[in-house]
Amino acid sequence: MDAIDVILTKRDGGRLSDEQIDWFIRSYTDGTVGDEQAAALLMAILFRGLDGDELARWTQQMIATGIRADLSGIGKPTVDKHSTGGVGDKLSLIVCPLVAACGAAVPQAAGRGLGHTGGTLDKMEAIPGWRSTLSAAEAETVLRNSGAVINAAGPDLAPADRKLYALRDITGTVESIPLIASSIMSKKIAEGTGALVLDVKVGSGAFMKDPDRARELAETMVALGAAHDVRTVALLTQMDVPLGRTAGNALEVEEAVAVLAGGGPADVVALSLDLAREMLALVGLDGTDPADLLTDGRAMDAWQAMVRAQGGDPTAPLPRATEVEVVPAPTTGTLSRLDAMGVGVAAWRLGAGRAHKDDAVSTTAGVVWHATVGDHVETGQPLLELHLDDPARLPHALEALDGAIEVSATPVPPPPLVLGRVT
């Protein structure tokens, strides 16, 4: 097999054979094929695509470069959820213990934030003592004992994806739908879950800003799940407006805990329940209404058990920023625009996010908003709070909010949370 032949096949619009895919993934992972030839193939795929059979084989071989966990001995049906990333999206912190409390096991291999979107691991690490990196044996023990685990993806989980993801990031091939789908699904399938619910965000603060492309990505990932015997459903959800009332690591943990205690913002509660119900239906546990567990304390019990099982103290105070800057409402009326991208970039610039994967993040920095689209506001009332520890970051954060807020003299309805469903 020769790398040039593989590149030319796809460059000229041909179909890659199983043998070509197997050889390329294996050879790039072990270093036989270099970055320059791999980059050429990724660019050819960006322009020419992969058909369903090619993509299923490509994903299968990415999984095969590592291990596929066997969770059959857990004794409970396994189901996970994955979000494509948004602003204020703390739903994994809620849904994982909530679904565990309903009787399923939730094995979540989670990631870190990059740019304006937050990462589940960064949020959980705001909890004193909580450990993000567990061995496979430790993760299985936590899953067995507490019903849910949120863990950093280990080096044995689709290692081909780690190399390909880094290469896509520097070669302008990030937006290829087959490559996005195989990256997400190879890790989710390898983690050993039997079912999966995808939350595909659409809008200004999402990776996918176009609804048609978001649906295409959702359909592609659902098909990949089916091809690998993982029952998969996707919801398309809006991300023009940030979710909830907070963006930032400790701030989002606090909001998630409020929801688990039976309170919290209505949009976060509603979407958490939508996702939880989809997860439970996939594994035949839809006889339990997860809303009941938010009000009777069982969801909170599951959260505390999950946090303790990974070394965290769920009763410890969360860290807080040393400074808070208030942004007032500019006029009286209905908040008609609160741009998710503007809020996300502001939180990032305050220190909540990272520009490069090795950057440190602040646990305390972030943005709180006291109203969302559709709410009435009065001139001068506190609209946003910018939480920070480094005053030098404030001007750039305020710049990100230029044009992000609009108030209308006439009523404006809030946008729908769920835009579509793909099965």
Residues designated as active site: 82, 161, 168, 183, 187
Q: What is d(CA 338, CA 242) in angstroms, rounded to the nearest whole number?
A: 7
Tokens of 406: 């609009």
Contacts of 212 by beta carbon, 8 Å cutoff, 6+ apart: none
Contacts of 181 by beta carbon, 8 Å cutoff, 6+ apart: 55, 59, 217, 220, 221, 224
312 membership: H or E segment, kind and range: none
Name the residue type at position 63: I
- 35 CB burial (10 A radius; 0-12, 13-18, 19+): middle
Cα 370 to the center of its chain, rounded Å: 24
Tokens of 143: 């899953």
Contacts of 45 by beta carbon, 8 Å cutoff, 6+ apart: 10, 173, 176, 178, 179
Q: What is d(CA 62, CA 66) in angstroms, rounded to the nearest whole number?
A: 8
Contacts of 262 by beta carbon, 8 Å cutoff, 6+ apart: 294, 295
